[in-house]
Amino acid sequence: MFKSVLVANRGEIACRVFRTAKRMGLRTIAVYSEADANALHVREADEAVRIGPAAARESYLDGVKVLAAAKATGAEAIHPGYGFLSENADFAEAVAAAGLIWIGPDPQSIRAMGLKDAAKELMIQAGVPVTPGYQGADQSEATLTAEAARIGYPVLIKAVAGGGGKGMKRVDDPADFAAGLASAKREGAAAFGDDRVLIERYITRPRHIEVQVFGDRHGDVVHLYERDCSLQRRHQKVIEEAPAPGMSEAVRAAVTGAAIKAAKAVNYVGAGTIEFIADASDGLKADGIWFMEMNTRLQVEHPVTESVTGVDLVEWQFRVAAGEPLPLKQDEIRLNGWAMEARLYAEDPANGFLPSIGRLEHFFMPDGIRVDTGVEQGGEVSQFYDPMIAKLIVHEDTREAAAARLAEAAGEVEVWPVKTNAGFLKRCLDHPRFVAGDVDTGFIGAEEGALQPVETAEATLAALTLVAEAASDGEAAGSDRFSPWGGQPGLSYGVRLNAPAQTMVWAHVDGRGVSGAVTPVEAGWRGAEGMTARVGFDQVQAGEALFGYQVIDDGFVLFVDGEARRVTPYRAAVGSGAGAVSDGSLRAPMPGKIVAAPVKAGDVVTKGQPVVVLEAMKMEHALTAPFDGVVEHVAAVGDQVVEAAVLAVVKAAD
């Protein structure tokens, strides 16, 4: 076994690999960009090397700099994590040529499975069922348009070198094919340096099922059962679980057998995932599951497989890379219970799930479960990298228990001022369809209305009680905790005392006016509905509900079921924020680069028509016309813009 390992990655996956390496007694080495100088993975490593500026292309994607860091620190092996250089065959060859151990599959296996079109042809030859589609060399728009018509709409356009939903566009109408193709090509070129695409039939009720495989250099290949990753948004996984709900032993044997066949077709060594798409219109059937692609690396969702099998997949990667045989034979790998993982993203569900960046002034993760993260309180969420900030993982005896525990954990997340999808995750996990296992990749879109935040009397009472407590003497929680109002006249902050025994309270909660009467009682306040609220150290209990809170400059942040709600005086100004369109100005919701402008000044546009396309955090975001009108201004393609910059102006039609 080698004695030291450099992780050519950042964030939670670097921290995850270091955890196993330290347990095995290996020396750990991190690399970092200028933006990550104070990152958690840097401090957790035994040694760290700065390799370049914030932009990934000049740091984490620069294989020459990574290899130089490995040589300078005496690293014996390189673990690539996922993303960045993990599926770069040229880099894998360079690692071996430098006399270092590459903790991953052989370069020829990466190449064989790295391009979706070539991989599908290889699987056809190996007898693995594949999704009907086109993966030919002719990339002309005319040919691709004709092939889409042959396959039949809806179709899915996919970058051949893609992954993580990037360069992937669903097209339902032939009239939209050209625009979808252009966008997929742009994303493919920007993210992977390759604008080629393939086209597949879009399964109208698909489930995403994948099989974890592992091979060694002694000819053995095993599977570690399946995962279901069907709960997705914009083709990116949100919640994963193992095993897959509704999976019979016969179908499991078919899909795992196909996965083994696929891995053996490329003489696979190390950890890999064979991804399948299943038609869920009539349950899972052996003849209704098709190969999609292979990820020749460790997956983001690998913890659920570790939970149900008791296997440390990173340790297996180390041992196989060192030439050891697989630690277990196929008949020694057992399924135990049910595991679920939720991806916690720094994004704003109320604003189209746009990424959220900034300093994590408050960052609290739930206790009693596995949390894989690469950030901590006081850290930064940068515009330069993927917005996933943590993974919440639970393991229980049954699927129902796992869903309930993960929903509870998502509701306990407290993050401020960066926005997260924690509340959204909780609502997904609590949804009756999800609890019943009735899930496909269209679940989030179909249930969008039911996944919106719900106001509760308990949360409103908690917010009003914080205001009332702060405007009075604040003794229940200590008046020094309430800097905005403590010891100040209540009337000047929107609080009216109607009578000595009752307080009428007004406040803004996320800019929305709320009011109510609360009555001071012993050790708390009673609301109009009879519930009692009590304020304690950083917690408010209203009825049976318990909420966390944090004092901020102009009020409080109340943490409600994974949501962070800003509570301020009623007369506090409520700004429109980035992205406001009431005056026809389309503003950048985050820093980024203009990659397309489908219209120009003077063009007539209709409400909802794309006006400008911003690329940020590895994804494209189209800003659309807020109403019918004429374009007065639009930013130039190639411009780098800051948050809240005006990208376009639309003048309303007369």
- Among residues 615, 614, 612, the alpha carbon closest in space to that of 632 is found at 612
CB 355 within 8 A of CB 347: yes
464 to 460, 473, 571: CA distances (angstroms): 6, 15, 15
Residues in the chain: 654
Strands (E), 216-266: 221-233, 236-242
Is the torsion defined by CA of 517, 519, 520, 526 positive or negative? negative
Q: Cα separation of 299 and 151, whole Å?
A: 30
Amino acid at 498: N
43 to 7, 28, 385, 555: CA distances (angstroms): 13, 11, 19, 34
> Which residue in the list 27, 186, 297, 566 is annotated as catalytic?
297
444 to 230, 231, 236, 387, 452: CA distances (angstroms): 10, 7, 11, 19, 11
Helices (H), 511-623: none
Q: Cα separation of 300 and 347, whole Å?
A: 18
CB 290 within 8 A of CB 130: yes
For residue 213, what are its two tokens?
């495989």
Q: How far is CA 454 from the centre of its chain?
A: 23
Cβ partners under 8 Å of residue 406, min gap 6: 239, 340, 341, 342, 369, 392, 394, 425, 429
CB 119 within 8 A of CB 273: no
Three-class secondary structure of residue 330 per DSSP: helix
CB 612 within 8 A of CB 623: yes
Q: Cα separation of 335 and 338, whole Å?
A: 8
Helix (H) / strand (E) element for 106: namely none
CB 164 within 8 A of CB 236: yes
Alpha carbons within 13 A on the beta-carbon side of 274: 35
Q: How many CB atoms lie within 10 A of CB 391?
A: 22
**Neighbour-count burial for 33-48, b at 16+ CB within 10 Å, e otherwise:** bebbeebbbbebbebb
Q: How many CB atoms lie within 10 A of CB 385?
A: 22
Is 50 part of the annotated catalytic residue set?
no
Report DSSP letters for 435-498, one per residue: HTT---TTHHHHTGGGGS----HHHHHHHHHHHHHHHTT-TTT-GGG-TTTTTS-GGGGTEEEE
Three-class secondary structure of residue 358 per DSSP: strand
Residues annotated catalytic, as ranges: 297
